Structure formats: C-alpha cells, structure tokens
C-alpha cells in the first residue's frame, strides 16, 4: 500500500512539474505575414498596424488601384494631417517610391485612402500585401 501511495505521489509531482515547465515556456511566435515596406502618407510614416485593410481595387477602365482602410486612431491622424494640407498635394509612398498623389480639397476623415489605378491586378495585390503585411479582409465577414 505504501508503494502505491508513493507511486501515486510521484506521478502527481511529475505531472505538476510538467505543467510548470509548459507554463514557463514562451508562447510560440505568431505566424509571420508578408514582408512589409515603409508606408508614408503626406510624408508621415504609417505602420502596418495602422492599416486595417489594404486591397487591390479594379476600376471600370481595367486599371487597378489600391484601397487602404485605416484604424480609427490612424484615420484621426490622417484627418489632422490632411486638414493642414488643404489646397496642397498629398503623396502616398512605399519605400520612398511614390504610389500616387492627389490635391487635398478637404480633410480626409473617413479612414480610407484610394490610390488611383495604374497597376495590373497581381501587382496591386502584391503592393497591398506589402503595405499591410497580410491578405485583405474577406468581402463577406461570414466567410
């Protein structure tokens, strides 16, 4: 009987030590998305974490632009930046290369930036992934 109790205690201690070891191990690193570049809007850096969604946006003329949807804090920041640019041009660049630009007529407060189409679909999708570091969100949230 003493042997059974000793064996049971030994098993419980081993299990407790194993659980402690598991708890002490760091969590596995998150799966990396796509390689990102340095996005600037009006000369101000925006991180991939500022981008909720970046997607290729085909237009009626078979040209493909890019639509960026910003997080609420980034959208507010963009509104402040563009309020100071009324009547002036604003450029959007990735890794120092201009992707597009427009004349600011009013502050951009809606949280989206549309870069006019000039790419084919696969190039626009690749640029969008490089901006956000991930695939675009599904069109239907039920997916």
pLDDT in tens, 98-112: 999 999 999 999 999
Write down the pTM of the prediction: 0.73
pLDDT band at 32 (very low <50, low <70, confident <90, very high): low
pLDDT of residue 34: 81
- What domains appear along the chain, each with residue ranges and CATH number? 39-132 (3.30.1360.200)
Give the DSSP letter of residue 139. Answer: S
* Contact partners, residue 33, CB within 8 Å, separation at least 6: 48, 129, 132, 133, 134
Total Cβ atoms within 10 A of residue 116: 16
Phi/psi of residue 60, nearest 5 degrees? -65, -25
Q: What is the mean pLDDT of residues 27-43?
A: 74
Helices (H), 1-143: 2-24, 72-83, 121-132
């Amino acid at each position: 009987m003493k042997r059974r109790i000793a064996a049971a205690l030994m098993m419980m201690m081993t299990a407790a030590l194993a659980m402690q070891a598991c708890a002490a191990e760091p969590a596995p690193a998150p799966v990396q998305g796509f390689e990102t570049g340095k996005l600037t809007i009006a000369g101000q850096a925006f991180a991939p974490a500022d981008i909720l969604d970046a997607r290729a946006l085909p237009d009626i003329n078979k040209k493909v632009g890019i639509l960026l949807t910003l997080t609420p804090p980034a959208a507010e920041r963009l509104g402040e930046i563009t309020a100071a640019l009324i009547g002036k041009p604003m450029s959007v660049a990735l890794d120092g290369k201009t992707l597009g630009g427009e004349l600011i007529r009013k502050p951009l407060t809606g949280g989206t930036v549309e870069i006019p189409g000039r790419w084919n679909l696969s190039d626009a999708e690749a640029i969008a992934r490089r901006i956000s570091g991930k695939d675009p969100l599904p069109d239907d949230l039920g997916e």
